[in-house]
């Protein structure tokens, strides 16, 4: 099945670039930048990756990001992800980044955007992989900071296609960020948001109706509300689901309990993605493999997920059709 999975052309629509920082790279960068990490070794970092919920992960994730300092660091991080994604058959990547994680440490947009853009341009040449960025607002910070962030981002938006909303979900509902989303829309950006990962179905409704998002990240708790499911099916709203992440953050007890099969049966437009692969034990191919191994997904289901991922992407209709035609040939 590994061969089938890596040959299936697919889009990855839910991956946080800061969540692709492998412990080895974290240590290399910390060393070359003279940054003190709160861990003594790669083994100690990995041992700390025992999460009880989203917050327990985020606390460590923001510490790890401190190693990232220079344009070269951001270039190396993005290159490592895109090289790895290419081996998993990813032909299109829409990649989250958290500017506030960096600007709050005194690292400006020009530093990370230069590194990201150069790596993305090189990956097009090396792998033919197409990539764009999604700028995420950190929802645990005041909504005014999100507004200041999108205004500060304005001169740096080349390669950014959309805005998103991530970090601690419960207690930070989507409607707090309506002004930042309105500004982003006035800049020509599209919109997505994390909702229904730990938060209730109401957060999914408000992301759709108040923020006007086109895609929901996670959305697994949508199943608790049949009216919401009907709405998501009717409007073919894509949900970017991350099975191994949901297991690692205890959103579900195990892969065998994951609601993905029920979501597919309900007619939802679901795709499979890695979220923070360096922290959750696997890249996008590992997520597909987990579904095959534990839930018995066969070629038909895996192909449907790959097809959904392309359909859910922000590619133009022409490029979607070309990639879908290629998928059918494979």
**Site residues (vs ligand ADE, CB under 6 A):** 16, 19, 54, 166-167, 194, 197, 245, 275-276
Interatomic CA distance for residues 197 and 277, integer angstroms: 17
Alpha-helical runs (H) found in the chain: 2-7, 23-33, 42-47, 54-64, 71-87, 99-103, 109-127, 143-153, 178-186, 201-209, 226-234, 243-248, 260-265, 277-280, 284-295, 299-311, 317-329
**Residue 167 touches which member of Zn ion, ligand ADE, none, C-beta under 5-8 Å by kind:** ligand ADE
Identified binder of Zn ion from the candidate list 275, 286, 305, 327, rule CB under 5 A: 275
Closer residue to ligand ADE in complex, CB, 166/307? 166
Q: What separation in angstroms does the CA of 101 have from each of 37, 95, 108, 244?
A: 16, 15, 10, 24
- Among residues 54 and 189, whose Cβ is nearest to ligand ADE? 54
Q: To the nearest whole angstrom, how small is the minimum distance from the Cβ of residue 48 to ligand ADE? A: 16
Output the smallest distance, CB 316 to ligand ADE, in A.
28
The residues annotated as belonging to the active site are 197
Edge-to-edge, what's the strand order for the sheet holding 10-16?
A: 10-16, 90-97, 130-138, 160-166, 190-195, 215-218, 238-241, 269-272
Q: How far is the CB of 173 from ligand ADE (least distance, A)?
A: 14
Task: Please identify, using beta-carbon distances, which residue of 9 and 276 lies nearer to ligand ADE.
Answer: 276
CA pseudo-torsion sign 31, 33, 34, 39: negative
Looking at the Cβ atoms of 249 and 291, the one nearer to Zn ion is 249
Task: Evaluate the CA torsion angle 116, 216, 301, 253 in order and state its sign.
Answer: positive
Among all residues, whose Cβ is closest to ligand ADE?
A: 166
How many residues form the binding site for Zn ion (CB under 5 A)? 1
From the list ligand ADE, Zn ion, none, partner contacted by residue 10 (C-beta under 5 to 8 A by kind): none
Least Å from the CB of residue 329 to ligand ADE: 34
User: What is the contact surface with Zn ion in residues (CB under 5 A)?
Assistant: 275
């Amino acid at each position: 099945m590994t061969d089938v999975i890596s040959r299936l052309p697919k889009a990855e629509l839910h991956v946080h670039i800061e969540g692709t920082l492998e412990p080895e790279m974290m240590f290399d960068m910390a060393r070359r930048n003279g940054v003190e990490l709160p861990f003594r070794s790669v083994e100690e970092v990995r041992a700390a990756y025992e999460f009880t919920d989203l917050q327990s992960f985020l606390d460590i994730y923001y510490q790890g990001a401190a190693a990232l300092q220079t344009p070269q660091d951001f270039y190396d991080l993005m290159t490592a992800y895109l090289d790895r994604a290419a081996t998993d058959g990813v032909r299109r990547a829409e990649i989250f980044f958290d500017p506030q994680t960096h600007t709050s440490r005194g690292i400006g947009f020009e530093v990370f955007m230069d590194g990201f853009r150069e790596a993305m341009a090189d990956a097009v040449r090396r792998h033919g992989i197409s990539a764009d960025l999604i700028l995420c607002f950190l929802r645990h910070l005041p909504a005014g900071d999100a507004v200041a962030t999108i205004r500060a981002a304005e001169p740096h938006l080349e390669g950014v296609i959309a805005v998103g909303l991530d970090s601690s979900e419960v207690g930070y509902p989507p409607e707090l960020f309506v002004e930042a989303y309105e500004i982003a829309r006035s800049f020509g950006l599209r919109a997505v948001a994390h909702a229904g990962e730990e938060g209730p179905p109401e957060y999914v409704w408000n992301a759709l109706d108040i923020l006007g998002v086109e895609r929901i990240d996670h959305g697994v708790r949508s199943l608790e509300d049949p009216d919401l499911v009907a709405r998501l099916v009717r409007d073919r709203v894509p949900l970017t689901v991350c099975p191994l992440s949901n297991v690692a953050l205890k959103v579900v007890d195990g892969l065998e309990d994951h609601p993905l099969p029920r979501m597919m049966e309900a007619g939802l437009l679901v795709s499979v993605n890695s979220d923070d692969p360096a922290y959750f034990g696997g890249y996008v191919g590992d997520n597909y493999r987990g579904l095959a191994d534990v839930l018995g997904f066969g070629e038909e289901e895996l192909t449907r997920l790959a097809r959904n991922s392309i359909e859910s992407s922000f590619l133009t209709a022409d490029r979607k059709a070309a990639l879908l035609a290629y998928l059918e040939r494979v």
